[in-house]
Structure 1
Amino acid sequence: MVNKPPLMISVSGVRGIVGESMTASVCLRWAQAFGHLCSKGTVVVGGDSRVSKTMMRAATISGLASAGASIIDVGVVPTPTVSLAVERHSASGGIAITASHNPAEWNALKFYGSDGLFIDSGQGQLLRSLVEGDRSFDVPAFEVGTYARDEHAIESHLNAVLGLPFLDADAIRKRKFRVGLDAVHGAGGELLTRMLDMLGCEVVSYHVEPTGRFPRNPEPTNENLRKISSAMREDRVDIGFVLDPDADRLALVRSDGLPAGEELTLCVAALAALPHIPGPVVANCSTSLALREIAKDFNREYFETKVGEAHVARKMIEVNAAIGGEGNGGVMLPMIHAARDSAVGAALVLKALLEFGGTSADLFDSLPRFSLVKKKREFNSLEEQREAMERLNSVDSLGTPDCLDGLKWRTSDAWVQARQSNTEPIVRVFAEASSSERAEELADLILKKLS
């Protein structure tokens, strides 16, 4: 018998393979517990385009209503649209039904607090304890929650992005950028297409229909962008935008058809935002050194956090940051909301390209140059993973690591990090240096110790 992949529970969500670990009953139970946690208030529900969306949405709405929570359904929308809708409706919380970059057979529930941010570890632990307990959350007939549709969530999202006071939408319209857009048949096609149209762009569309049938591995890494990058080169776009299924991440394709990838998205966005917004820059501890260099050029403080949108968001709010995010294409602009948002990222990239005045290929070539490699080591069990991480304590040639998130060793012009997954027997190894040879050397040193 083949073992079923377990239900993967994180601080702010739960995910699994539909029909195996993620079932209607699992979804219902988590939604009921969250409805109770929200004190029978109003909960915004939205999600991506996956083929399992009908089942997941029905179970989620039923669970919330049966626990006394009222529902505002925003439909098939990007994850950041759900975040904004929570704030706009002054809701008690929100649920985004999406497994983000995971393959199409996966789905998940991601939980928001009343501030439009993912719930924190304390709330997450409480929610899990409610789910795993024996308590029933069903309410009597006259206390069952109500249901309403919000047909204007995407329009409100568009208004927020296009209302950025420094965007200079008129100047972008005059430039008439030719933009490639690949929405991977996820939830971001409508939002990004409408925004680009409103900014006067000529849009070359790929996979924008929200069918949920992804044409490739939907994670927007350089390896997965080769085919679409080639298509965009043939179509002679000025810049290419590639989304993940829930449109919170944005990868870029250069005008010469090479994938700029995810790592430089936040860097280019920062070039557009920092001249106009005071405050520090915040990113997770796996983000490229190029962003730190850009922050230094603008004489801004730079803060690192643990990996995860929730960690970055709360640090940004704490230090009143100008911009932040993660090196996986997640751009976060607290002037709009402290959440990863591909529409915000795309608008800022167009602003940066406008001000640069040259091609996007030349813009990327002008950025601080570092080589970042990402590798991983898989193990047969979490115990093997733990033992392998312990072996890294014997790495003394790189000095003492910091332990903010996994282990990270730094030199004057490079770093290497090993992070264990909390849900899978995997250790991810990232290394960055001024040359690809040095980055590979550092990554291989750690991988050898893990073996």
Structure 2
Amino acid sequence: MSELKVSVSGVRGIWGDSLTLESLMDYTKAFGEYIRRRGGKRVLIGRDARPTGPMISMYAASILNAMGIDTVDTGIVPTPTVLFGVRKLGFDGGLIITASHNPVEWNALKYVKTGGLFTGEKDIEEIKGYLTLKNIEAPYHSTGKNSNDTSALALHVQAVADYLGVDAIRSTGFKTLIDPVNSAGCDASRMLMEKLGCTYKIINGEIDGTFKRGTEPTPENLRHMEKEVVDFGADIGFATDPDADRLVVVDEKGAVLSEEMTLALAVESVLSDPMTKRGDVVINMSTSKMSEDIAAKYGVRTFRSKVGEANVVETLIANHALIGGEGNGGVIFPSVNTARDSLVGMGLMLQLMARTKKPLSELAAALPRYAMKKTKFDYSGDIESLYNRIVDKYKSAEVSRLDGLRIDWREGDTAVWAHIRPSNTEPVVRLIGEAGSAEVLDRVFAEIGGLL
């Protein structure tokens, strides 16, 4: 049996294995108690298109209703739409039924608190404390009601368009090609392209949850877009994951850019905009140094957070930063939404291209260049012992234990870093590193691999 993963990234597992009716009952009622103890009465529910979504959504709504909480089902929408809707429409919380980038057999509960923010580490610990509660039912005359309201998506799309100002983008006549992987980004991306006056083509656009390509929007899963973008004559291609919070872009020549470049280009778009007051940047411990270098170019600071969207958002708010995100294609721009938001990412890319009058390939070529490597592996040993062996190996490195282990050092004029930590979303340990040259990085990975 697989392990149920519980973290700031949600409560996720494989349906019928680690994710069962019993675990869904426990974690939904615990979230309901978290909402009730804050005087909450209304929860917004949304989901991606995976086949178990409708069942889990109805089941969770029934549990919350039994606790005296009204629920509003907004249907298949991007994860950021639910967070936006909670904040904009004044809900007391939100529940998102999605396992994000995980394969179709997975599903999950993602918790949203008042104000449209994901629950953080302290919130998750509180929720876990309610798992064993009994007799949680409200009196028969005080049970909640379930209703449907799909207005949140249109409000979300309009908010993105309002921030961008559509005239400059409309005047370009951009052509875009979009792959929303048969899920929550289908309608959302179509609506945004129409707002922005783009000519567009959607592939894998049937909302059926079949996920006709790999769920993670990585270059390896998007090779089909190389030809599709060129054949359509698109200025840019966009690809999302099933819940449409992560974004990868393809340039007009058909080159699929690294997911790390999505955030770097978004940071460049915002900081180079003469109409935006410059502010600081927040990225997580595993994100490329590209965004940090861009921030330095514009004279602003970079803060690093623990991995996990909720952790990045908490650091953004605490430091009143302008923009942030994660190197998995997640752009967080609080002026529109306090969440990773692929619609915001799409808009910022188009805005940068329109303002500079440069093609995406030229904008990408101007980014700082680093070799980056990401891998994951099973490790059954003591994780602290592994950290200690790595620190002993790299004695001159600067060490951070904020989130797992990160080490930074220089080899000549080359900056090098490596970050190793257990995954929040999978039963693996992740190793991510970056250096000025691939040769240095390959050697570092081989050395760390030898310490396992």
Q: Distance in 2 between matches of 1:417 and 1:123?
A: 26
- Which residue does 1:30 correspond to in 2? 27
5+ residue gaps in structure 2?
A: none
Q: Distance in 1 between matches of 2:241 and 2:387?
A: 30
Q: Distance in 1 between matches of 2:231 and 2:83?
A: 36
**SS of the counterpart of 2:397?**
coil
User: CA RMSD for the aligned pairs?
Assistant: 1.7
TM-score normalized with structure 1 length: 0.94
Which amino acid is the alignment partner of residue 406 of structure 1?
G
Give the C-alpha shift of residue 208 in structure 1.
1.7
Aligned residues: 442
- Which residue does 2:14 correspond to in 1? 17
Q: Distance in 1 between matches of 2:170 and 2:13?
A: 43
Given candidates 151, 173, 176, the residue that maps to 1:176 is: 173
Q: Distance in 1 between matches of 2:161 and 2:427?
A: 43
Which amino acid is the alignment partner of residue 14 of structure 2?
I
Tell me, yes or no, if the aligned pair for 1:398 and 1:409 is still in contact at 8 Å.
no
Deviations 1:81-114 (A, max 9, x none): 0001111222211101100000001000000110
Which amino acid is the alignment partner of residue 407 of structure 2?
W
Given candidates 414, 417, 429, the residue that maps to 1:415 is: 417
Q: Distance in 1 between matches of 2:124 and 2:100?
A: 19
Which amino acid is the alignment partner of residue 267 of structure 1?
A
**SS of the counterpart of 1:231?**
helix
Give the C-alpha shift of residue 338 in structure 1.
1.6
Give the C-alpha shift of residue 438 in structure 1.
2.1
Are 2:449 and 1:447 equivalent residues in the alignment? Answer: yes
Q: Distance in 2 between matches of 1:423 and 1:197?
A: 34
Give the C-alpha shift of residue 437 in structure 1.
1.9
Give the C-alpha shift of residue 387 in structure 1.
4.3
5+ residue gaps in structure 1?
A: none
**SS of the counterpart of 1:197?**
helix
- Is 169-178 or 11-20 further displaced after alignment? 11-20
Give the C-alpha shift of residue 439 in structure 1.
2.2
308 and 201 in structure 1: CA distance in 2 versus 1, 3 angstrom threshold: same
- Which residue does 2:242 correspond to in 1? 245
Q: Distance in 1 between matches of 2:64 and 2:32?
A: 5
Tell me, yes or no, if the aligned pair for 2:180 and 2:186 is still in contact at 8 Å.
yes
Q: Distance in 1 between matches of 2:200 and 2:345?
A: 17
409 and 101 in structure 1: CA distance in 2 versus 1, 3 angstrom threshold: same
Q: Distance in 2 between matches of 1:234 and 1:384?
A: 51
Are 2:390 and 1:392 equivalent residues in the alignment? Answer: yes
Q: Distance in 1 between matches of 2:397 and 2:98?
A: 40
Deviations 1:284-313 (A, max 9, x none): 111111101110111111111111111110
- Which residue does 1:317 correspond to in 2? 317
Tell me, yes or no, if the aligned pair for 2:3 and 2:427 is still in contact at 8 Å.
no
Give the C-alpha shift of residue 422 in structure 1.
5.4
Q: Distance in 1 between matches of 2:77 and 2:424?
A: 28
- Which residue does 1:296 correspond to in 2? 296
Are 2:203 and 1:221 equivalent residues in the alignment? Answer: no
Q: Distance in 1 between matches of 2:67 and 2:85?
A: 21
- Is 97-106 or 68-77 further displaced after alignment? 68-77
Are 2:79 and 1:102 equivalent residues in the alignment? Answer: no
TM-score normalized with structure 2 length: 0.94
**SS of the counterpart of 1:339?**
strand
Give the C-alpha shift of residue 6 in structure 1.
1.8
- Is 77-86 or 365-374 further displaced after alignment? 365-374
- Which residue does 1:112 correspond to in 2? 112
Q: Distance in 2 between matches of 1:230 and 1:433?
A: 31
Are 2:149 and 1:191 equivalent residues in the alignment? Answer: no
**SS of the counterpart of 2:117?**
coil
Q: Distance in 2 between matches of 1:319 and 1:399?
A: 27
Kindly report which structure 2 residues correspond to 1:74-93, keeping only aligned pairs within 5 A, or say none. 74-93=74-93
| Greater RCO (CA < 8 Å, at least 6 residues apart) | 2
Give the C-alpha shift of residue 61 in structure 1.
0.5
115 and 290 in structure 1: CA distance in 2 versus 1, 3 angstrom threshold: same
Are 2:277 and 1:277 equivalent residues in the alignment? Answer: yes
Give the C-alpha shift of residue 41 in structure 1.
1.4
- Is 401-410 or 311-320 further displaced after alignment? 401-410
- Is 385-394 or 140-149 further displaced after alignment? 385-394
**Identical-pair percentage:** 37
- Which residue does 1:331 correspond to in 2? 331
Q: Distance in 1 between matches of 2:83 and 2:425?
A: 25
Q: Distance in 2 between matches of 1:355 and 1:11?
A: 37
**SS of the counterpart of 2:130?**
helix
Given candidates 406, 417, 438, the residue that maps to 2:404 is: 406
**SS of the counterpart of 1:259?**
coil
Tell me, yes or no, if the aligned pair for 2:44 and 2:93 is still in contact at 8 Å.
yes
Kindly report which structure 2 residues correspond to 1:333-348, keeping only aligned pairs within 5 A, or say none. 333-348=333-348
